[in-house]
Each structure stands twice: as C-alpha cells, then as structure tokens.
C-alpha cells in the first residue's frame, strides 16, 4: 500500500483543515470529532491558538500539533471530504 503524501495543510473554520495531497486530491478533514472523542486532542479547543499551529512532519505523511496530537495522512484521506 502506498502511503499518501501531503503537499500542504491549512487550518480553516471550526476545527477543520484543508489538506492537499501530491496526487492533487484535496480534502477537508473535520478534527472536531477527534477532539470530542480523544482526550489527548482536547487542547486543540482549550489552548488558545494551538489549532492554527498545525504542522506537517518531514515524511509528509502525518499532520501534527504536538507530540501527543497527530493524524496520519491515510486517515485524513479516508475520512476527509473530497473537494
């Protein structure tokens, strides 16, 4: 299985991120469900400005905010809404 590589990420409204992949697919991934169900994700709502500090790891296969909050690219592609 080929792991999808991310070209760019951008936080958008209400805990959503816009993610562009190397194959030119774009998806909007709603992080709010993760925030509401995964305890480690709660700081994305409670720590001012943290959500906007989204990063891409050097392999370009994981979106992360800190050492406890990350989402793999295949999850984003599978559960994101294609645009």
CA atoms within 13 A on the CB side of 58: 0
Give the pLDDT confidence of 19-44 residue by residue, as tens digits. Answer: 999 999 999 999 999 999 999 999 99
Distance CA 34, CA 58 (A): 23
Q: Which two tokens stand for residue 48?
A: 């001012």
Q: Per-domain residue ranges for the chain?
A: 6-82
Query: How high does pLDDT run on average in the chain?
Result: 96
Q: Has residue 2 got a pLDDT over 90? A: no
| Phi, psi for residue 13 in degrees, rounded to 5 | -60, 150
CATH code matching the domain that covers 6-82, chosen among 3.30.413.10, 3.40.50.10490, 2.102.10.10, 3.30.2020.10: 3.30.2020.10
Among 58, 61, 60, 59, smallest CA distance to 73 is for: 61
Using 50, 70 and 90 to split pLDDT, how confident is the model at 1?
Answer: confident
CB neighbours of residue 51 within 10 Å: 21
């Amino acid at each position: 299985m080929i792991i999808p590589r991310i070209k760019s990420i951008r936080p958008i409204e209400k805990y959503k991120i816009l993610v562009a992949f190397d194959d030119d697919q774009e998806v909007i991934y709603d992080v709010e469900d993760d925030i509401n169900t995964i305890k480690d994700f709660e700081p994305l709502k409670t720590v001012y400005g943290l959500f906007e500090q989204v990063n891409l790891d050097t392999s370009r296969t994981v979106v992360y905010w800190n050492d406890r909050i990350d989402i793999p690219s295949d999850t984003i592609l599978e559960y994101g809404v294609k645009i």
